[in-house]
Structure 1
Amino acid sequence: MTYQPVNQPPNQRGGGYRQQQPASPLAIRTKKYQFDTNTYTRLAMGQVWRQEWWYALVPFALGLLPALFIHSWWWLALAVVLTILYVLLRSAQVTGVTQMEQSKPLFERMSYEMDPKQLVLRQSDTKAMGLTWDTIARARRDPDAYLLYLKPGPAPAGLAPWRLWLARTFDVPVFLHLPLRIFNSPNDLKLFESLLRRKNLLPEATVKAPAA
């Protein structure tokens, strides 16, 4: 998983810094911030298990299947063990993102610069990388932060259909985490949210009718 330089088609997630990427003079700029790996793990793990908790029922059901023919408490023990193994393996897949060399830039201390063309992740004046907005799949507004989810890369050519299904089904969410506190003013927050809506990354705000 690697980020692509600006103006090149994105094909993978994660990555390293490129040469300095210029931002518009009117770009929204944030304070410097370091995305903590524990915060990533907590958010990613919560998302995965909210969406996939029922997958854990599959190994449990498979472990109990022989009980239809041979009644024994051992099958229940087998079902529990298989479920625990699945949960541990899936959780390890999520936490493994923080250990991957390609993902390390996500967790470095940097500031962000956003304009209508790109999102620049700047570690210093001479060390930065840019992401065009089409590398972002969607955004989420939490009470204390924005999450920008990166698009997964394309599958390798010639991958067997079952392996392609596994890769898509058990993908790990990779995202940028932008706390509200790193924005320099409430106006910058409004401009950034408006930009996300124009890019169709956030749904349009719902205007509430005034109370009678």
Structure 2
Amino acid sequence: MIVKTRKYKLENSTYIKLAMKHLLRTQWYWAAVPLGIIILNVILNLTGVYPNIWIYFMAPLAIVLYLLFWAIQFTGVTQLEQNKVLFQKLLYEIDGRQILIKLNSKEGMQMKWEMIKKAYKEKDHFLLVVSKAQFIHLPYSIFNSENDIKFTESLLRRKNLIA
């Protein structure tokens, strides 16, 4: 069976939001390091060994700067010429061998399932992760029927991309 979707255009703001959400989901431990430093500093302050207050401002600032860095990177991806195809209206054909990503009936590319690193099933979309900054966003609204959504989900499960 082949699932054919309607044409869909990924908006820049949606891409940035999804990329930041994926970053937080996969790299949450970067926030744990400054929080651990703050806890260590509280212990040192309570014992009187090394009293200071600057760490309470610098550690959260480090987290904010790290997130800001990635937000700028993901915003830059939306502006690059080689990534413009990600933000055009695309049609998807999904089957057990590959995902065909079509710009029109004559232009497109195939993506093998091996290229997909991880997939997430959210309440209103599938998110297929190709790399840290490249995704295939498949909202349920582009599928023609509920059976297409169920078939896509079963394919993702069969390929061990979602649990």
Q: Into which bin does the TM-score normalised by the smaller protein fall? A: 0.7 to 0.9
Distance 1:84 1:202 in 2: 30
Alpha-carbon shift at residue 198 of structure 1 (Å): 2.3
Give aligned pairs, total: 157
The one-letter code of the counterpart of 1:177 is H
- Alignment equivalent of 1:198, drawn from 149, 158, 162: 158
Match of 1:186 in 2: 146
Alpha-carbon shift at residue 80 of structure 1 (Å): 4.8
Alpha-carbon shift at residue 77 of structure 1 (Å): 4.3
1 or 2, which has the higher helix percentage?
2
Greater Cα shift, 95-104 or 78-87: 78-87
String of CA shifts for 1:130-164, please: whole Å, max 9, x gaps: 111111112211111111111x4xxxxxxxxxxxx
Once the two structures are aligned, what percentage of the paired residues are identical? Answer: 39
Q: Do structure 1's residue 27 and structure 2's residue 2 form an aligned pair?
A: yes
Q: Secondary structure at the match of 1:31?
A: coil
The one-letter code of the counterpart of 1:42 is K
The one-letter code of the counterpart of 2:111 is L
Match of 1:94 in 2: 74
When residues 57 and 184 of structure 1 are mapped into structure 2, their CA distance, relative to the original with a 3 A threshold, is closer
What is the RMSD computed on CA atoms of the aligned residues?
A: 2.8
The one-letter code of the counterpart of 1:187 is N
- Alignment equivalent of 1:139, drawn from 119, 129, 132: 119
Q: Do structure 1's residue 36 and structure 2's residue 11 form an aligned pair?
A: yes
When residues 31 and 87 of structure 1 are mapped into structure 2, their CA distance, relative to the original with a 3 A threshold, is closer
Q: Secondary structure at the match of 1:106?
A: helix
Alpha-carbon shift at residue 102 of structure 1 (Å): 3.1
Q: TM-score, normalised by structure 1?
A: 0.61
Unaligned runs of 5+ in 1: 1-25, 153-171, 204-212
